């Protein structure tokens, strides 16, 4: 199974004599745009040799303080400098994450005979800003496709900071673990569906958990049928590759809070008998991004040794049309006994999630959070870079939104209105899986909420928009799988750990 190499990253208190490619910032200040992180000795040499300063040359090449802009400047003595736009000079971690990601992506695409070293000098001192810079570098260096013969990629990253306290090293370690988890999720999402299907995805989860204090349980199709997982069995029934349910359990001594994470793991979604159009099917290897997020995040949480109990549930199936496929109007008996009338076989994610939500709720966790590329309606509402958040109560929503803000991921709260649940009424079952076309993301959330007991706080993350980037790379976001949700889940676990 393809895996990406993560560059080595270290801290330094100064820019080395041979920095490789040096990244500095251009920020907006009251006196205009100012350079950040360009050492005085290099600045003097640059001006003396070229007769102008770095900022002037960079602006001629198109540099600006606008976030996401990066230009390469050739200096004296073979020095190469990338000037990255930072935005306002009072930088946030996300500004730095974006700027560094953009700069490192540029460096990674340069022609080189050997893997390169990148030195990042942005006057970073605060731990959260150090973390943002490190994550931006590691995530910006990511490339799923093998590098071309003209691009050797990046082997080493040096992050310059004057902070000599242990907090700087701790921030770097947290960033490295977090970035590796995001990259793992990206790799899983990018792997073609003929290589990553329920059985092999479950094997990948086992391999990722190896060496950590994690218990791994896998239900195969025989166990799923025996125990009555009607959603997973129905959705996976049309494929020769049978469904799986994976449980990762992390239970450190002294943990007082139990967080349950449930992820949608549809390894390929044709729509089943409600077949998708060809254009809409091409990227459907990404329909397991929710499962990738919860599994990768749980492994990272265990690696970090956070004092919180976390149980991840990944519902894995391949939604294919065949003589064994489930049909619109079929009545399914879900795990736990509730019956569901299938409204549309392309609304399969909520069915496999319902089984896992009931199973996960049996352990009576303190919070249930599910993550899924669930609805196109959420993409219509929020676009391709913002994920939706729906919860039963604002306190739970605020908890998740705070974690997303700390992680630098964009989520927007949507309501679950009172009229959503009546749309799911059925004449032949306890409820129907779909409502009408209006507010599809909200109706889907209302359906999921039916499978979590009312006394358990619950939130739903619909990542259908940002989980997969079908366009060009930007900032630290590559084309293809993005790893959306991983950083938020890790930040949430940090906030809840005692």
| The pLDDT value given to residue 4 | 83
Q: Which residues of 181-197 are buried (b: 16+ CB within 10 A; e: fewer)?
A: bbbbbbbbbbbebeebb
DSSP notation for 152-212: --EEEEEEEES--SHHHHHHHHHHHHHHHHHHHHHHHHHS-TTTS-HHHHHHHHHHHHTTS
User: Considering Cα of 389, then 392, then 397, then 399, what sign does the dihedral take?
Assistant: negative
* Each residue's pLDDT tens digit, 102-153: 999 999 988 777 889 999 999 999 999 999 999 999 999 998 865 555 566 8
With CA atoms as reference, report the closest residue to 125 among 158, 162, 87. Answer: 162
Which pLDDT score, from 0 to 100, does residue 152 have?
67
246: helix, strand or coil: strand
Tokens of 307: 């004092």
What torsion, rounded to 10 degrees, do the Cα atoms 304, 184, 488, 347 define?
-140
For the chain, list the domains and their CATH numbers: 8-170 (3.40.220.10), 196-496 (3.40.630.10)
| Rounded CA separation 254/308 (Å) | 8
Q: CA-based diameter of the chain, in Å?
A: 83
- With contact defined as beta carbons under 8 Å apart, do 32 and 21 qualify? no
**pTM assigned to the model:** 0.97
**Residue among 285, 350, 423, 487 flagged as catalytic:** 350
Torsion of CA 472, 414, 352, 332, to 10 degrees: -140
Distance from C-alpha of 485 to C-alpha of 267, rounded to nearest angstrom:
18
* DSSP secondary structure letter of residue 347: -
Q: Could you tell me how many helices (H) and strands (E) the chain has, helices first?
A: 15, 20
pLDDT at 498: 72
pLDDT value at residue 3? 76
pLDDT for 330: 98
The verdict on whether 350 is a catalytic residue reads yes
Residue segments in the chain with a per-residue pLDDT below the cut of 50: none
Nearest residue to 83 (alpha-carbon basis) of 49, 112, 110, 56? 56
CA distance 356 to 354: 5
SS3 assignment, position 215: strand
Axis crossing angle, helix 198-209 with helix 289-304, rounded to the nearest 10: 10
Task: Give the span between the Cα atoms of 151 and 139, in whole angstroms.
Answer: 17
Strand order across the beta sheet in which 244-250 lies = 215-219, 244-250, 309-319, 258-269, 367-372, 458-462, 387-391, 411-413
Cβ atoms 318, 268 nearer than 8 A: yes
Q: Facing residues of 11 across strands?
A: 159
pLDDT in tens, 46-91: 999 888 899 999 999 999 999 889 999 999 889 999 999 999 999 9
Q: Contact, 353 vs 445, CB < 8 A?
A: no
What pLDDT is recorded for position 336? Answer: 98
What count of residues does the chain have? Answer: 498
- The rounded Cα 128 to chain-centroid distance in angstroms is 19
Q: Which of 269, 189, 128 is nearest to 486 (CA)?
A: 189
CA distance readout (Å), 124 to 14, 44, 81, 160 = 12, 22, 18, 7
Q: What is the model's pLDDT at position 58?
A: 94
Residue whose C-alpha is closest to residue 152's, from 1, 15, 5:
5
Per annotation, catalytic residue among 80, 276, 392, 421: 276
């Amino acid at each position: 199974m393809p895996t990406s190499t993560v560059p080595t990253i270290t801290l330094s208190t100064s820019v080395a004599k041979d920095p490789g490619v040096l990244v500095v910032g251009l920020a907006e200040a009251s006196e205009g745009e100012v350079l950040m992180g360009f050492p005085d000795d290099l600045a003097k040499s640059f001006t003396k040799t070229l007769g102008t300063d770095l900022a002037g040359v960079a602006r001629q090449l198109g540099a600006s303080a606008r976030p996401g802009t990066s230009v390469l400047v050739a200096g004296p003595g073979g020095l190469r400098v990338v000037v990255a736009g930072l935005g306002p000079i009072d930088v946030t971690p996300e500004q730095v994450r974006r700027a560094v990601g953009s700069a490192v992506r540029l460096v990674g695409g340069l022609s080189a005979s050997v893997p390169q070293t990148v030195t990042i000098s942005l006057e970073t001192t605060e731990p959260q800003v150090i973390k943002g810079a490190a994550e931006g570098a590691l995530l910006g260096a990511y490339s799923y496709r093998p590098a071309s013969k003209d691009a050797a990629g990046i082997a080493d990253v040096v992050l310059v900071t004057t902070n000599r306290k242990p907090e700087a090293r701790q921030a770097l370690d947290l960033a490295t673990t977090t970035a590796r988890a995001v990259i793992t999720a990206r790799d899983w999402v990018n792997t073609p569906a003929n290589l990553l299907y329920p059985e092999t995805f479950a094997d990948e989860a086992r391999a990722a958990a190896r060496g950590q204090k994690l218990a791994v349980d896998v239900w195969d199709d025989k166990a799923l049928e025996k125990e009555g997982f009607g959603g997973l069995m129905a959705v996976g029934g049309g494929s020769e590759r049978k469904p799986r349910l994976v449980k990762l359990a992390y239970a450190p001594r002294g943990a007082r809070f139990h967080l349950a994470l449930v992820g949608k793991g549809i390894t390929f979604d044709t729509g089943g008998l409600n077949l998708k159009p060809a254009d809409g099917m091409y990227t459907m290897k990404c329909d397991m991004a929710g499962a990738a997020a919860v599994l990768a995040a749980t492994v990272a949480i265990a690696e970090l040794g956070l004092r919180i109990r976390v149980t991840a549930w990944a519902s894995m199936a391949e939604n294919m049309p065949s003589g064994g496929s489930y049909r619109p109007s079929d009545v399914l008996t879900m795990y736990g006994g509730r019956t569901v009338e299938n409204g549309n076989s392309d609304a399969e994610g909520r069915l496999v999630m319902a089984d896992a939500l009931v199973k996960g709720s049996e352990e009576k966790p303190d919070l249930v959070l599910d993550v899924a590329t669930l609805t196109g309606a959420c993409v219509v509402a929020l676009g391709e870079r913002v994920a939706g958040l729906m919860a039963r109560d604002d306190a739970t929503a605020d908890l998740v939104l705070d974690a997303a803000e700390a992680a630098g991921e964009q989520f927007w709260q949507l309501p679950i209105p009172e009229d959503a649940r009546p749309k799911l009424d059925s004449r032949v079952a306890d409820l129907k899986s779909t409502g009408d076309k209006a507010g599809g993301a909200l109706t889907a959330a209302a359906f999921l909420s039916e499978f979590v007991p009312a006394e358990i706080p619950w939130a739903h993350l619909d990542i259908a928009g940002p989980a997969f980037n079908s366009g060009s790379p930007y900032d630290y976001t590559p084309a293809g799988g993005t790893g959306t949700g991983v950083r938020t889940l890790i930040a949430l676990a940090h906030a809840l750990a005692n």
